[in-house]
Amino acid sequence: MPATLQTIADELGVSRSTVSNAYSRPDQLSPELRSRILAAAERLGYSGPNPTARSLRRGKVNAIGVLLTDNLSMAFTDPYAVAYLRGLAEAASARETSLLLLNLPKDEEAGRRVVGNAAVDAFCLYCVPDWHGALDLIRARGVPIVIGEDPDAFGPDAGYVGIDERAAARRLGEHIARLGHRQIAIVAHWIVDGGVTGPVDADPDALRYYVTGQRVRGFRDALVAAGVPWDRVLLINAADNARDEGGAAAAHALDRLDRATAILTTSDVLALGVLDALGARGLRPGRDVSVTGFDDIDEAEPAGLTTIRQPSVERGRLAGEILLDPPEDPARRRLTLPVSLVVRATTGPNTKELA
């Protein structure tokens, strides 16, 4: 019923190819005929080549798939993720490519349907639970991939733009240890899934979520090297990477007799929540309790948060460029970016008597 190339062709008595050329290769026909064709299209309500058909024929859709977790509020709410997405979007739109946001449902089957139905030229994986079964399907689809977390999750062919998570976390741990803290809690998201916020007894070498695993291991590296027995470190799960979860998690470290003198977190967002919890209890950050974040989001500086600064917009932009203009040199498709330790006011020397 709606007009197609053929409709226009019939109307003017020219071939379908010519009408197609009028849109896609204007140099292939006379300007005069071209304008007659466009006029006829206008008249018949034809709005140009069907994007799906064109994509099928050309084998290209001009879209990058971005996987988001079930809880997509995070992608839009977490300042770090937002910055990353912005960089990605910039790189994409510079190449007239769009972003297809895929919400990956928890349910395995549904997840495979979503991924399987996604018409994209490439996938960008970031902040995705790396154990999800739908990831196998992505692998199988054989389209280019860039990942931001576990560099080995998709083999050497996948692009990678990330940081050395473990070494970065280690620097925070060393900073805290050097300040003399021995009573330490770690607030980390997705240590276990299931949505519980609270202390957990987990083996750092067996965490499923790569980023948290590496960061917790980095903390441990530093603390153990500084002589803090690992079994005295309180490990607290945050159900999500959200400010209020950070506050709820912190309560478990603060409301007990052997209160922690330092709380290491796996993200600035969680750390801000921890600071909220301190404030609610009249505790002074950096004096009574030291707190560290991770990412150095915009809000970190006004909050005086000690943290690890890592590129955000840049990281997204690089991911997009690797997908859309893959560098010849394979080494340039796998980037480990530098980070830096930013010391601010939320960390200070341990003032509590050592046990």
Q: Which one, of 318, 328, 305, 331, lies nearest residue 79 by Cα?
A: 305
16 binds, among DNA, its own copies, none (CB under 5 to 8 A by kind): DNA
Q: Supply 131's token pair.
A: 């154990």
Q: Helix, strand or coil for residue 125?
A: strand
Closest to DNA by CB, 53 vs 280, is 53
The residue type found at 98 is S
Pairing relation of β-strands 184-189 and 159-163? unpaired
Closest to DNA by CB, 57 vs 106, is 57
Only segment of 98-106, 207-215, 220-228, 333-341 that touches its own copies (CB under 8 A): 98-106
Q: In the block, which residue shows the tokens 């809000």?
A: 299
Q: Under rule CB under 8 A, how many of the chain's residues touch its own copies? A: 46
* Closest separation in Å from C-beta 14 to its own copies: 21
What is the rounded CA–CA span in Å between residue 345 and residue 343? 7
Quick check: 280 binds its own copies (CB under 8 A)?
Answer: no
H-type alpha helices, the chain: 5-12, 16-24, 31-44, 51-58, 73-77, 79-93, 108-116, 134-141, 165-178, 210-225, 243-254, 268-280, 300-303, 313-324
Closest to its own copies by CB, 85 vs 323, is 85
Residues within window 108-127 making contact with its own copies, judged by CB under 8 A: 110, 113-114, 116-119
* Closest separation in Å from C-beta 137 to DNA: 13
* Closest separation in Å from C-beta 97 to its own copies: 9
Quick check: 33 binds its own copies (CB under 8 A)?
Answer: no
What is the rounded CA–CA span in Å between residue 144 and residue 141? 9
What is the rounded CA–CA span in Å between residue 300 and residue 106? 31
343 binds, among its own copies, DNA, none (CB under 5 to 8 A by kind): none
- List of residues contacting its own copies (CB under 8 A): 2, 45, 47-56, 61-63, 72-73, 76-77, 82-83, 85-86, 89-90, 92-93, 96, 98-103, 105, 110, 113-114, 116-119, 137, 140-142
